[in-house]
């Protein structure tokens, strides 16, 4: 086929093919997470949240949370204090490590400054609002279930009531942060 004929065929066929193909849906990306945006989300959850530098302290269901972020390092950490680390036995530490592998999900148990914490650590800028809210739920749940199921609670297998309770808390947080 001569070059001119091939060029004309491509020139006329491309617009026709484009008309037959539906346009892909437009998916709007969330803006990058920043300290300000995170503070707005947290204040929607707890209007009495207390910011101090790169830290925000607030409460969900009577459980204190601390969020620390470092925009230059592009990291954030949500933390719930659980108990003193003094007296943790080797068996208990082993159980915490096992939970970090399978049941704590994206939250983790950690020891720092003489305390046992429930923590969620993530890069700051790609963090989406729903991920942040899920982080709060999971971190609260590892604190609540310490000494029992050691679960982050976002996924619970079986026919018990726990998954419904965890999902209810997540829905409540999503509703509070709906406009953010």
pLDDT tens across 54-99, in order?
Answer: 999 999 999 999 999 999 999 999 999 999 999 999 999 999 998 8
pLDDT for the residue numbered 21 = 66
Looking at the predicted structure, is the pLDDT value of residue 33 above 80? yes
Looking at the predicted structure, is the pLDDT value of residue 7 above 70? no
pLDDT for the residue numbered 161 = 46
Q: How many domains does the chain have?
A: 1
Q: Report yes or no on 123 lying in a domain.
A: yes
pLDDT grade, residue 44 (50/70/90)?
Answer: very high
Concatenate the DSSP letters of all residues of the chain into one string. --HHHHHHHHHHHHHHHHHHSPPPPP-PPPPPP-HHHHHHHHHHH-TT-EEETTEEEEEETTEEEEEEEETTTTEEEEEEEEEESTT--HHHHHHHHHHHHHTSTT-EEEEETTEEEEEEEEESTT--HHHHHHHHHHHHHHHHTTTTT----SS--SSSSHHHHHHHHHHHHHHHTTT-
What distance in Å separates the CA atoms of residue 87 and residue 136, rounded to the nearest whole number?
Answer: 27
pLDDT for the residue numbered 159 = 44
Q: Report yes or no on 155 lying in a domain.
A: yes
Determine what percent of the chain is predicted with pLDDT higher than 70. Answer: 78
Q: Report yes or no on 141 lying in a domain.
A: yes
Q: Report yes or no on 12 lying in a domain.
A: no
pLDDT grade, residue 158 (50/70/90)?
Answer: very low
Q: Report yes or no on 20 lying in a domain.
A: no
pLDDT for the residue numbered 18 = 53
- Give the CATH number, domain containing residue 79: 3.30.1460.10
Instruction: Tell me what the pLDDT averaged over the chain comes to.
Output: 84
Q: Report yes or no on 116 lying in a domain.
A: yes
pLDDT for the residue numbered 8 = 47
Structural domain including 128 reads 31-176
Q: Report yes or no on 7 lying in a domain.
A: no
Looking at the predicted structure, is the pLDDT value of residue 52 above 80? yes
pLDDT for the residue numbered 180 = 62
The arithmetic mean of pLDDT across residues 101-127, rounded, is 94
């Amino acid at each position: 086929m001569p070059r001119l004929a091939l060029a004309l065929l491509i020139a006329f066929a491309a617009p026709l093919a484009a008309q037959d193909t539906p346009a892909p849906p437009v998916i709007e990306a969330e803006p990058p997470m920043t300290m300000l945006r995170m503070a707005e989300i947290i204040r929607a959850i707890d209007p009495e949240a207390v910011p101090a530098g790169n830290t925000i302290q607030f409460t969900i269901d009577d459980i204190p949370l601390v969020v620390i972020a470092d925009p230059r390092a592009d990291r954030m950490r949500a933390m719930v204090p659980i108990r003193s680390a003094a007296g943790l036995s080797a068996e208990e530490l082993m159980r915490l490590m096992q939970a970090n592998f399978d049941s704590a999900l994206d939250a983790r148990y950690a020891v720092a400054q003489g305390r046992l914490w429930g923590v969620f650590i993530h890069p700051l800028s790609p963090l989406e609002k729903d991920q942040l809210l899920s982080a709060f739920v999971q971190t609260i749940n590892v604190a609540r279930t310490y000494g029992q199921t050691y679960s982050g609670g976002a996924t619970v297998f079986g026919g018990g009531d726990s998954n419904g309770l965890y999902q209810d808390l997540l829905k409540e947080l999503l509703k509070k942060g709906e406009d953010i």
